[in-house]
């Protein structure tokens, strides 16, 4: 997979959809491509986040540790991004992410991510939009879960 293909993948991610391709090319060039084997951990719940991962190829399982044990809460595939909350908010990782089969990612370090936001403010605006939509969706799911629990 070349730089042009990586840029096209980034353009399909809502967070980067409206960003100039030249800026995305810079991000791809400065990022590290990392391949994980089946069952290998990308990041672990509770750890400090130092990078986000953009999935270029493969599938990953998002798991949350609870008193009752590990619960799978989502599956990530090509074009998904994971880990951006920990680097944006300086909070511990909220979940463990595990490769399901071979997984190829683009690792975007915290410094690179914030450098891009500083140099290209439109990325910051897109981040706010994406996070606002996620918050709205999560709030809707919470309301539905509470309504279901009360029924």
pTM, whole model, 2 decimals? 0.79
Q: What angle, rounded to 10 degrees, do the helices at 3-11 and 21-30 form?
A: 120
**8 A C-beta contact, residue 57 and residue 129:** no
Q: Which residues sit opposite 54 in a β-bridge?
A: 81, 106
pLDDT digits (tens, 9 = 90+) for 32-83: 999 999 999 999 999 988 898 989 899 999 998 888 888 888 899 988 888 8
Structural domains in the chain plus CATH codes: 3-150 (2.60.120.10)
Sign of CA dihedral 107, 111, 113, 119: negative
pLDDT digits (tens, 9 = 90+) for 10-46: 888 777 777 788 888 888 888 899 999 999 999 999 9
SS3 71: strand
């Amino acid at each position: 997979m070349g730089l042009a293909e990586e840029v096209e993948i980034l353009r399909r991610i809502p967070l980067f959809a409206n960003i100039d391709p030249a800026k995305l090319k810079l991000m791809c060039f400065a990022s590290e491509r990392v391949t994980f084997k089946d069952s290998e951990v990308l990041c672990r719940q509770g750890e400090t986040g130092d990078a986000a991962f953009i999935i270029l190829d493969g599938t990953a399982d998002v798991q949350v540790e609870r008193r009752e044990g590990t619960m799978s809460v989502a599956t990530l595939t090509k074009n998904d991004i994971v880990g951006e909350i920990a680097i944006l908010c300086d909070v511990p990782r909220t979940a463990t992410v595990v490769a399901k089969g071979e997984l190829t990612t683009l690792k975007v370090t915290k410094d690179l991510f914030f450098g891009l936001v500083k140099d290209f403010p439109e990325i910051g605006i897109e981040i706010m939009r994406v996070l606002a939509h996620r918050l709205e969706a999560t709030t809707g799911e919470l309301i539905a879960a509470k309504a279901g629990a009360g029924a």
